[in-house]
Structure 1
Amino acid sequence: MSLTGVPLLCLVAFGAVAAMAGSVVVWRRGWRPRVPLRALSVLLTETLALLTVGLAVNRSEEFYPSWAALFPAAEQEPATVAARPGDLDAWLRAQGSADSGQEISVPWKPRGWTGWHLSAAPTVVVPAGYLQHPTNHYSAVVVTGTGWTVTPGVAEQTVVVFVPTTAATGPGVLTASLPALLSHDLRVTARRWALVAPAAGAALVEQAAGTAPDRYPAIALVRAKVAPVLKAFTRLLVAGHGVAAPVHPSTPPVPPGIRLTTVDGFPAGIAWAIRQTPPPLDTAIPAPTWVPSQPPVPRRSPGAAPKPKTPAGPPQVSPGPTTGVNSGS
């Protein structure tokens, strides 16, 4: 039965009326002990009457909208979600550099990777402190194509995966196969990742971001390197014909809501992609409880008069200064 419901209010009001009738009966009869019975009947009547008034006021003002609000349970410690360790955590801990707090770079050969049509096995780089914080989950930056080099310090609070894709690699590898297996092997988040790809592989990453925009909201395209001699020849050719042609290919269109940038070199692209991802998420810290807030209801003081209502109608424009106009007669 709801605390602000009509059935409870009617039940208590009926009990107050019944107690009042019982008090009248007890008062007129000569039962012994007379004084205690009269006192109890009056006390019961007053209690039920006050309870009826209190329920009516609470139903109108909603001070206590439920029984849980009226009788709060004992304060309990917030529940925490235990972080599931990745299947590779124990293997990474066995490596020599695991206890030094440095980043670890290892070849990653998940189940079925040979069917991804890659030129080689992927390489995974976990950031420094990955094993020292077993409750943290990290975002991921996926680097596709070829031409990159795994350098120390590339993973900054982010898991970086180098995937040597080819022309035969489909977008399903980036949207389904790779995220599922990476989430199983390492402690990574489920969204807010980033993609880094050469300009020649823009079509693949754009299809992946368009299919999974929540997972890949940011793309960094690495411009193709042009030899200095070719650049100079292009400038002479453009100047001689009097036309303006871009040396680099134009940026292809991307799905709406996806951040796209073009950079010179994979290190710059990875650094930009890491800045687009959130920091590590500590699952040992419980998420804050969202409590819907209600706007305060303005209350009128007892002696204040109500504000007059303005009738609906077209807005009235205040007259401006009148300027005289001479008309010819």
Structure 2
Amino acid sequence: MTALPLALTMGEPAGIGAEITCKAWQALRTSGPAFLFLGDPEALQGIPTRRIEAPEEAVGVFQQALPVLTQRLPSPPCLGHPDPANAGAVIGSIRTAVQHALDGRIAGVVTNPIQKSVLTAAGFQHPGHTEFLGELAGTGQPPVMLLACPGLRVVPVTVHMALAAAARSLTTAMILDQGRVVAAALRRDFGIARPRIAIAGLNPHAGEAGTMGREDIEVVAPAIAALVHEGIDARGPLPADTMFTPRARASYDCALCMYHDQALIPVKTLDMDGGVNVTLGLRIVRTSPDHGTALDIAGKGQAEAGSLIAALRLAAEIAQSRARSTP
């Protein structure tokens, strides 16, 4: 067990968060990493729980019961049917977890999936977790979303926007800024001394010398040249249809992609149940499972906890890597 626990937020109470939390504790109770649940203990069924008053108590009880820092729900959850009345508790769970991480009382934050439409209806002003965490624990630059599974790490430069809007919004500065964040994170969080970054082209065949669009020549290539000039091992723009083969993946440590599906399709194809979402560019460690709230199967006992277990393990590994890199 690590010296400090991780904190796992409640996520959407009507989704599969409580179910996969219980399954994750059952899988990790003897090996760790130790974590506490920041939510309503009444939502946890079928496992022993222990209410604690402070994060520091979690490691000592983890093998016997899941430690819970209580965050009560105003409305009893109805599985499969989110209630905006609980939005404040969901947001409060995230805020509290982040504050404990900033205070050095936990090793990192792992977030259960949230239902963004419900939070938005209740007045939440952020597109999702990543942007909210950037407000709470950012470093002055936009946070970066990395998706990881065994054998592949990817970063989408543009994330949750229409494809046409993603192409219009893409700039050399965006690619350059994210390339810098990724290179620094690979060194600090993953212990890779000389990270190699493969950068995808926007267009088919990376534009094929401008015959399929000039964005790869005029927008992507200058960012790569600037990264190389700064001493970062960046290569591209590469055709996205060939850069995710097994041989290609072995040649780099992270792929920087131009839009959401270009990055997420290969990760989810390789390991749908074990993918992990990592937020780079924060003052804290944050990971999450790479799936949503799964309202359609909530309460049916069908939820797979593999991605959450992978997220907890990776958060602990990143925390340890950061500790080793700190003078």
Query: Please, what TM-score do these two structures have when normalized by structure 1?
Result: 0.25
Give the greater-gyration-radius structure (CA).
1
Q: Report 1 or 2 for greater relative contact order, CA contacts < 8 Å, sequence distance ≥ 6.
A: 2
Greater share of helix residues, 1 or 2?
A: 2
The structure where strand makes up a greater share of residues is 2
TM-score scaled by length of structure 2:
0.25
